[in-house]
Structure 1
Amino acid sequence: MAGRLDGEHVLVTGGSRGIGAAIVEKALTEGARVSIVDIEEQAGKAFAASLGADDQVYFGRGDIRMADEIKAFHTAAVARLGPVTGLVNNAGRNSNADPVTMTEAQWDDVFSVDLKSAWLCAREVLPAMLAVQRGSIVNIASVHADHTFRGYFPYAAAKSGLVGLTRSLALEVGPQQIRVNALSPGWTETRLVAEYFATQPAAMRQQVLDVHPMGRIATPMEIANCAVFLLSDEASFVTGANWRVDGGMGARFAG
């Protein structure tokens, strides 16, 4: 069903690798123009160049924790590709911290990337969306927003906050026909996950697979497929929702 994003300009944060890169690739196949902002300049430039579509792709380095850098990137992206009609707040960082020994600076760093940046980016693109009364925002949360486990403090708190932000923002801009949804992936075969498994006992991967009813974990493109659907007009009556994309893992532990 190619062409679901024809004429759209989708901005993807943290789009140079992993789930973000898969979303970029999927959006392009659906006809979108895509701008990518990432703090990793070398990786971002290389990825954008590999896509081979200068008139469809724009990469710019930017720290999404900083409002002025978001504004500068957005201004350049719009000049190149036109007004942003879709935003994917994908950039995030994990956290393994102790609630007693964690410092305020460490806490603020997690929340500035995983939660505050989503608001800053939405604040930047919303005026143009409001002016034409159309647009879609997808916030990449996590199954940790609902189900977490020891050692992920305060990642779960930040992702729960992102789902709450999604609901609140959906209510604010719904009357102008702008949709805001969250997408909560579970275990996904990204480079970071591969590196994690490489540091663990060999049995760890099987333990992870065993808690998935489907017996496997997701590919980045499986997450991207859902993100692009939520961006598209096929999801025209979906807003304020949190789509869990976890192969049934959350259903197993629901309670």
Structure 2
Amino acid sequence: MGRLTDRVVLVTGGSRGIGRAIVETAVREGAAVAFFDLEEKAGIALREELTANGGRVVFAQVDVTDGQALSTAVADVLAAYGCVDVLVNNAGRNVYADPVSMTEAEWDQVFDVDLKAAFLCAKHTLPSMIERGGGSIVNIASLHAKLTCDGMYPYAAAKSGLVGLTRSMALNVAKHGVRVNAVSPGYIRTALVDEYFAQHPDRDVERKALEVHPLGRIGTAEEVAEVVCFLASDAASFVTGADWAVDGGLGVRFA
């Protein structure tokens, strides 16, 4: 407990799923937390719930693909808290497209959310970290960055790009004492995974997924959040440029 005491943590896509779990875990670990999301009602409800229990939490409805809106929102966080010590780039979207029928606009929408937004958020928060001589960025990638499956084009490309961005950025900012890492979840019980199972033409897809998991189950958002908050903390002070799998062993199985 208290791994993030006196730290300011900014989480994107923080109203539900893995993002919500990260917000809740960071608050429990002593951080002051700001989170962004497009879902205003859910964001306000989470903020009120956490502040009622003594948490230091602010929320803003922000489109993280909009550079100007993001710049303003980050400036508001800096005004409220004075700095940003930790950035968690969690906002993302699934996509089930076809390489022929997918339009350029649809392609751009995917990469704006899953990749460009991470760059924009880092662009606007890194100055605070560099000025203070330290900080941590954690990018939520995916097992799809290394392994993927039919029907999820071009999600793997976007998440592979996010892991590559993690490595490049880690090298660029290491001299300032800033660490940058990625976390790659596998099957985690969230609305996005439930959506994937629901839209899949094979009605038995969830059972088949469970059968190839070495740990025999789907993970929880809270389990991902624990790894994220570890990487954000001083307990991981010699870890940068890494991509941590949180997938129940699925990524190492030959199946």
TM-score when normalising by structure 1: 0.96
| Cα distance in 2, alignment partners of residues 12 and 104 from structure 1 | 29
Contact 1:56/1:81 (CA < 8 Å) preserved in 2?
no
1:22 partner letter? A
| Cα distance in 2, alignment partners of residues 55 and 224 from structure 1 | 17
- Does the C-alpha gap of structure 1 residues 161 and 128 become closer, same or farther in structure 2, counting only changes over 3 Å? same
| Cα distance in 2, alignment partners of residues 196 and 116 from structure 1 | 23
- Does the C-alpha gap of structure 1 residues 153 and 194 become closer, same or farther in structure 2, counting only changes over 3 Å? closer
Corresponding residue for residue 9 of structure 1: 8
- Does the C-alpha gap of structure 1 residues 253 and 124 become closer, same or farther in structure 2, counting only changes over 3 Å? farther
Report the aligned-residue RMSD: 1.4
TM-score when normalising by structure 2: 0.96
Contact 1:185/1:223 (CA < 8 Å) preserved in 2?
yes
Corresponding residue for residue 240 of structure 1: 241
Aligned length: 253
| Cα distance in 2, alignment partners of residues 59 and 119 from structure 1 | 21
Structure 1: gaps of 5 or more residues: none
Pairwise CA distance, 1:137: 0.0
Pairwise CA distance, 1:152: 1.2
Corresponding residue for residue 116 of structure 1: 116
1:164 is paired with a residue of what secondary structure?
Answer: helix
Contact 1:136/1:179 (CA < 8 Å) preserved in 2?
yes
| Cα distance in 2, alignment partners of residues 199 and 159 from structure 1 | 21
Structure 2: gaps of 5 or more residues: none
Question: 1:142-153 counterparts in 2 under 5 A?
Answer: 142-153=142-153
Corresponding residue for residue 92 of structure 2: 92
Pairwise CA distance, 1:191: 2.4
Identity of aligned residues (%): 56
The Cα offsets for residues 219-251 of structure 1, whole Å up to 9 and x where unpaired, read as 000000000000000000000000011000010
| Cα distance in 2, alignment partners of residues 104 and 199 from structure 1 | 23
| Cα distance in 2, alignment partners of residues 155 and 15 from structure 1 | 20
Question: 1:222-241 counterparts in 2 under 5 A?
Answer: 222-241=223-242
2:130 partner letter? L
- 185-194 vs 92-101, greater mean Cα deviation: 185-194
2:19 partner letter? G
| Cα distance in 2, alignment partners of residues 72 and 21 from structure 1 | 22
2:182 is paired with a residue of what secondary structure?
Answer: strand
Corresponding residue for residue 49 of structure 2: 50
- Does the C-alpha gap of structure 1 residues 197 and 97 become closer, same or farther in structure 2, counting only changes over 3 Å? closer
| Cα distance in 1, alignment partners of residues 254 and 11 from structure 2 | 31
1:62 partner letter? V
| Cα distance in 1, alignment partners of residues 102 and 197 from structure 2 | 25
- 126-135 vs 160-169, greater mean Cα deviation: 126-135
1:227 partner letter? V
| Cα distance in 2, alignment partners of residues 39 and 230 from structure 1 | 26
1:52 is paired with a residue of what secondary structure?
Answer: helix
